[in-house]
Structure 1
């Protein structure tokens, strides 16, 4: 892979993994953050400042790993012909850059929903719809293990999200739902009972609703945490009204969590399932792998290797850049235990099965 790759927020956990992968593939790496250096060419800059300018060039890839990055830098990347690779899961933040890319109109391009959730979840949803063109209701469950700490930004985002409401397509209508209000069970692990996950404000449910159109009447994403008792504890806390407090004190809660011990395994499990127009449950597509930050970095690096500006196209998503097999192969290179399973990845439906029980708290 030739060319230059800018990694905004590149001195963090995911950024370090991405830099190593892309450098090994022949890319020139430039990291950008307020302080510190990961051993590559480095620019010390406040990414949120409106007067920060970076010397992007046509064909550069710019990977944004921080939601502190302001619109001025993003606008500069699009204007100068770079590919801006957006990894955010937050709807308001990411959709604002879609609006910016539409207004700028190129010659650069925004490539968004890159990572695990969003990213791998999008690819699995597209694969499920390819196998089942009659898909009407889509449910995505992501279970993340606490066996390894997430980065500070990701942990802060988790707590901030607890006090938000999200707009999702449900039964053909866009509906606002509070985080954690809906509960659904997913078959996250072989030979074990289905485990609960709570609706969470991941941006891919908005993007997938747009991409699939009105024929897919429901698109919802749920988050579970392993060990499963943590998900049950979170559900109880949200029922008691602690979501707003979590959002209000997100920074200290994130610091306290990161200072505490890890729990259980460092795992990533994703299940994508749904039903067709006759109400038949579709056999789930399931992926299981290891540490979320490594899996995320693998998908980001694979997308960066394929990303190219497309004349006349200002916005692209991960499904335009990678196939599910591409992403799984990239993850398996780092995490050999990675498994993608389904009913032979053929169009098989059943009158009952997993992902068919839901409720509200």
Structure 2
């Protein structure tokens, strides 16, 4: 039964033993995979918050429950216990609600790739007296891709980084992820270039990436991603440029999107992202079911001097695995922070690859040209 408009926290005696993990928007693509991983690999009690009228279907009823509620409802933060672990899987969560949860001592993991949304969440915490922590850039992109970039930035010859992400369309992703991609494809983003931010239309920048040494270069389009918080710290803080690019497998889809953007259709795509997402869901999956990423370190003349490449499985599975790895670090008690943090405060690149290989054995990483900067 849906909870009322003024949600109330459960009485203390009714709470479950063990760590409490709350998944906001947890009934979606990534959330369902994360729930399975948490049930199989942790002892945590899990609550899924969703607008969908769902139930656990009898699966681990002692550890899993659903709360049907719109997270935008006034007072929604009160249903989440102080000091709970909260994973946000929807941009519908208001920044002021996030600030309230963090003030109450919650550890809040943010998975959004939208720079504007992530910046709004961080602005709500910055300078505020809080008992918990907001951890941004938890996932694959942002997340793993930024850990790769931070690693490459250690090379003493690296002056800037180019970051490429290829997503396979071998299956349909969740509606929210597809809508986000389409909306982002039709908008401007802040490009960090020559030490400053420049407003740039998505797709205006294009380049080829070699995602696998056995293949030729594939076209990728300039895109906006959250992750600036990671790459403004040392050693990456000295970078003069940071560019994100997206490619779609099969490459024909990337070329088609590039053509549409070149005709000035970006704003129309953004306005109709929801409708386009529904239409695309009616077509069969095409391309590979995999995620590939590359970070190239560029020297002063713009030529590549180092790189890291990662190939792994389905994007939703990989994202859920990265969230799980971050939660496991938090629950181990080895890292304790208050205020603002990013995934880099909890995981290393080596940690992340090990976690991915355990869940997705096809994961592999290829690195070249690393020479660590002197401290």
TM-score after normalising by structure 1: 0.90
Match of 2:327 in 1: 304
Does the Cα contact within 8 Å between 2:133 and 2:337 map onto a contact in 1?
A: no
3-state SS in 1 of match to 2:79: coil
Does the Cα contact within 8 Å between 2:309 and 2:366 map onto a contact in 1?
A: yes
Q: Deviations over 1:309-346 (max 9, x none)?
A: 97773100001110111111221122111111113x74
Q: Distance in 1 between matches of 2:107 and 2:156?
A: 31
Match of 1:331 in 2: 356
Match of 2:367 in 1: 342
Match of 1:16 in 2: 32
Q: Deviations over 1:211-246 (max 9, x none)?
A: 256520001110000001111111011000111110
- Between stretches 88-97 and 35-44, larger displacement belongs to 35-44
3-state SS in 1 of match to 2:248: strand
User: Is residue 197 of structure 2 the alignment partner of residue 174 of structure 1?
Assistant: yes
Match of 1:162 in 2: 185
Q: Distance in 2 between matches of 1:36 and 1:134?
A: 54
Does the Cα contact within 8 Å between 2:205 and 2:222 map onto a contact in 1?
A: yes
Q: Distance in 1 between matches of 2:303 and 2:185?
A: 32
Shift of 1:104: 3.0
Shift of 1:102: 1.2
Q: Distance in 2 between matches of 1:155 and 1:279?
A: 33
User: Is residue 221 of structure 2 the alignment partner of residue 198 of structure 1?
Assistant: yes
Q: Distance in 1 between matches of 2:125 and 2:151?
A: 27
3-state SS in 1 of match to 2:247: strand
Q: Trace 1:88-167 onto structure 2 (pairs within 5 A).
A: 88-130=112-154, 132-167=155-190
Shift of 1:6: 0.3
- Between stretches 323-332 and 53-62, larger displacement belongs to 53-62
The equivalent position to 1:243 in structure 2, one of 263, 266, 271, is: 266
Q: Deviations over 1:240-291 (max 9, x none)?
A: 0111110011111011112221001101000001213465522320000111
Does the Cα contact within 8 Å between 2:152 and 2:306 map onto a contact in 1?
A: no
> Runs (4+) of structure 1 moved beyond 3 Å?
277-280, 308-313
Q: Distance in 1 between matches of 2:27 and 2:125?
A: 26
Shift of 1:305: 1.6
Q: Distance in 2 between matches of 1:124 and 1:256?
A: 35
Does the Cα contact within 8 Å between 1:107 and 1:311 map onto a contact in 2?
A: no
Query: RMSD in angstroms over aligned alpha carbons?
Result: 2.0
Q: Distance in 2 between matches of 1:255 and 1:225?
A: 18
3-state SS in 1 of match to 2:212: coil
Match of 1:351 in 2: none
TM-score after normalising by structure 2: 0.87
- Between stretches 307-316 and 99-108, larger displacement belongs to 307-316
Stretches of structure 1 that go unaligned for 5 or more consecutive residues are 349-361
3-state SS in 2 of match to 1:117: helix
Does the Cα contact within 8 Å between 1:169 and 1:209 map onto a contact in 2?
A: no
Match of 2:294 in 1: 271
Match of 2:309 in 1: 286
Q: Distance in 2 between matches of 1:174 and 1:99?
A: 18
Q: Distance in 2 between matches of 1:330 and 1:2?
A: 22
Does the Cα contact within 8 Å between 1:6 and 1:62 map onto a contact in 2?
A: yes
Match of 2:318 in 1: 295
Q: Distance in 2 between matches of 1:313 and 1:320?
A: 11
- Between stretches 17-26 and 146-155, larger displacement belongs to 17-26
Match of 1:28 in 2: 45
Stretches of structure 2 that go unaligned for 5 or more consecutive residues are 1-16, 57-63
Q: Distance in 2 between matches of 1:61 and 1:136?
A: 37
Q: Distance in 2 between matches of 1:207 and 1:85?
A: 14
Q: Distance in 1 between matches of 2:111 and 2:347?
A: 15
Match of 2:248 in 1: 225
Does the Cα contact within 8 Å between 2:77 and 2:101 map onto a contact in 1?
A: no
- Between stretches 303-312 and 77-86, larger displacement belongs to 303-312
Q: Distance in 2 between matches of 1:66 and 1:46?
A: 11
Q: 1:133 to 1:227 in 2, by over 3 A?
A: same
